[in-house]
Amino acid sequence: QVQHGPKHRLSIVFPNLGGADAATAAALPAMFAEPFGEPPVAAGVLANLRLASEAALPPLRALLCDTDLLPQQALGQLDFIETALNTILVNLQDPDGFARFRRLRLVAVRRRIQNKPEHAEALLKCAGFALVADVAAGGEPEHLEWGPADATALAPALAVLVLIARVKARAKAAGNRALAEPVDATVSVQDLAALEYDCNTLVESSDNTEAPSGGVMGCPQKVSAVKGALIPRAWLEARLPQVALALEEMKKFFKIGIREKTVVRELCRVLNVGRDDKLSNSPTLERAAQLMASMILVSMRKPEMCAQPTTPAEEALRESVELDSEGGAIAGGGGDAPHRSNDALGRTTMPQTKRRQSGIEVLESSALPLLLGCIPAVKLGLLPRAVMEIVYLREFPAFFTSGIQEKQFQVSIGALKQRLADVFREKLGQGTEVHAIGIGCAIDIG
């Protein structure tokens, strides 16, 4: 969070994926890192993905090497499988949509894929689908059903999506003749971070407006895009109503302009300096970072966004107990006094009360986990982590006051990106692996 005075603010958030420890830092706005989990956890998730991808390789090879199919027909089957899986994953937070799309009628699949549909059916089974028999029809299987919506089915689905993306990228780069070449079964953090789920928006808009490429809000623009958003509007209103309201009332803060894009681009460059393995950009993480950066910015104008929910019991305890400067508690005006006890040295001690969160700490602890949990790769079990920092705009005045082509702006952005990169590395700590990153930037000029 970079700010100067009450009306000039810059909020920057960037998640990254890696194999770091899962301790969460407790500062807030400027950067948020999302290294995926402790090494044992990440290793377990990636190991499950590797097993799932290895299981999918035989039917994938059978499809790609089938001489009775043209390369375009094989790729067409992969497109169908990819769309079916993406549609399910995008609707994981929508019970009605999930119930609707998790089932595929075998008749419909075979009607859509008329040549060798058994290849597609075999790959769908490897992606988490199972045949479901219809008792009324004499026990004959009529549907392929995906689920349940947990790691049991998520790992196979994500693994198959990674393999399909790998095959399609090879065909685009080297032509259809490269389809028959061996496919690597390894699934990395970068592969997971690169998945877009064919959905170019993160939060569903209430007015069905289209989102710009890489937008936070809106409806899918592309004709082939999956219908829906990773964060449905109804889901957001039920769990984070203050955020949903802010998205409607202050839409301008959730749009990214040329100045913000410049910060994102330059910061990516400086973070890759000196790295042999360059950080891969994650479009999904970038949208999540943009959403969080904008939320932090809006919360400074709307403090009610950071209101921490309480129960009547918590309020009563707050009225009767106050924390002293050393963390102890003293009796307040009303109610029964807290129970006192003596420690080993005979000193009177008071029970410790849980420190109440305030301000953007509430967004960090409540909104951030909920929003990131809508991303299928996070839902799979990879752990997010946040790194926060606040800097002041008075250190970089030309960033706001100069044109982006002016020398003063270039000098200011150079100092700003280096400052943020240094803080990011310091907060993240030594020995932390980072493989993929998404950066969001929001500006409030008043």
Residue 255's pLDDT band (cuts 50, 70, 90): confident
Q: Judging by DSSP bridges, how do beta strands 391-392 and 2-4 pair with one another? A: parallel
| Mean per-residue pLDDT of the chain | 75
- Per-residue model confidence as pLDDT tens digits over 124-152: 999 999 998 876 666 778 899 998 877 78
Distance of CA 229 to the CA centre of its chain: 12
427 and 34 in contact (C-beta within 8 Å)? Answer: no
Other Cβ atoms within 10 Å of 246 Cβ, number: 22
Residue 445's pLDDT band (cuts 50, 70, 90): low
Instruction: Give me the count of residues in the chain.
Output: 446
Residue 384's pLDDT band (cuts 50, 70, 90): low
pTM for this structure? 0.78
Judged on CB neighbours under 10 Å (0-12, 13-18, 19+), 324 is exposed
